[in-house]
Amino acid sequence: MGGGHAPNKIHDLVISGESSVHRLPPDVKLVALVAFVSSIAMTPRHAVWAFAVYAAILAAVTAIARVPIAVIGRRLLIVAPFLMAAALVPFIGDGPQTKVGPFNLSTDGLWAAWNICAKALLGATASILLTSTTPIPDLLVGMTRLRVPRPVVSIVAFMVRYLDLLADQFQRMRLAMAARGHDPRWLWQARPVASAAGTLFVHAYERGERTHQAMLARGFTGHMPDLDTPTRSSGAWLTALGPAALAVSVCIVAIVQ
């Protein structure tokens, strides 16, 4: 349980920098993110211009924060399964048909696929910008400042930490299996991997119990200690909520049109 845990992994998402986006207080950025993503989610799918404005806002924030486009592109791969599922909707949708090349596709299905892809990509990009400019511990402090229930903050903190531990341990188990000649390439060869995953989660539960007992023995009361983070100011609120306010305005105009 020592050096192999790589305790700094929770900071791997952060792109170090001294931009104004990096310096904003975490609670201010969380409020801005919720407002921005909510605006994207409520925008009617036919308001293509609104999505273009959202993309321009994200591009501007990306430039200010100096987050590399390649990093954002790699991290956007997490939404690839949703995009592939959305690509099937035009083929199975009902209603009027639109001819696209050799295919007759559902018009409603095309709009639904566009809606899923646009909102997933824009929302994920906004979240990536937040995690790229704000360390996880600071985000936890921001949640506390926003009066998120303490148990929820503690659960998130331990979840982040244990995701790293689980990933490390599963990787070691896979290396051990490969060293013993097991290198699955087909679905029907994956049974040992599934068994190892089950064993891993049992061990994780037992480790969690031991960790909790050790923390209680050291005086843990259920509250995570507060960390020093940038304090809020009117300027910080104006800086962070400016793009979010623009997004909300765009959403309102798109809805009432």
**pLDDT for 206-218, tens place per residue?**
777 787 788 788 8
pLDDT at 48 over 90: yes
Measure the CA dihedral 187/189/194/196, to 10°. Answer: -150
The whole-number pLDDT of residue 2 equals 41
**Over the chain, what is the mean pLDDT?**
82
Q: What is the pTM of this model?
A: 0.76
DSSP 132-156: HHS-HHHHHHHHHHTT--HHHHHHH
pLDDT at 6: 43
Interval 60-82: pLDDT, tens: 999 999 999 999 999 999 999 88
Backbone angles phi, psi at 225, to 5 degrees: -65, 145
- The total number of residues shown for the chain amounts to 257
Task: Give the lowest-confidence range in 126-135, 158-167, 239-248.
Answer: 158-167
Longest dimension (CA), the chain: 68
Percent helix, strand, coil in the chain, to 5, is: 75, 5, 25
State residue 250's pLDDT score.
94
Phi, psi of 104 (to 5 degrees): -100, 110
Distance (Å, rounded) from C-alpha 122 to C-alpha 55?
A: 7
What residues contact residue 4 under an 8 Å CB cut-off, 6+ apart?
A: 168, 172
- Residue partners of 36: CB distance under 8 A and separation at least 6: 54, 57, 126, 243, 244, 247
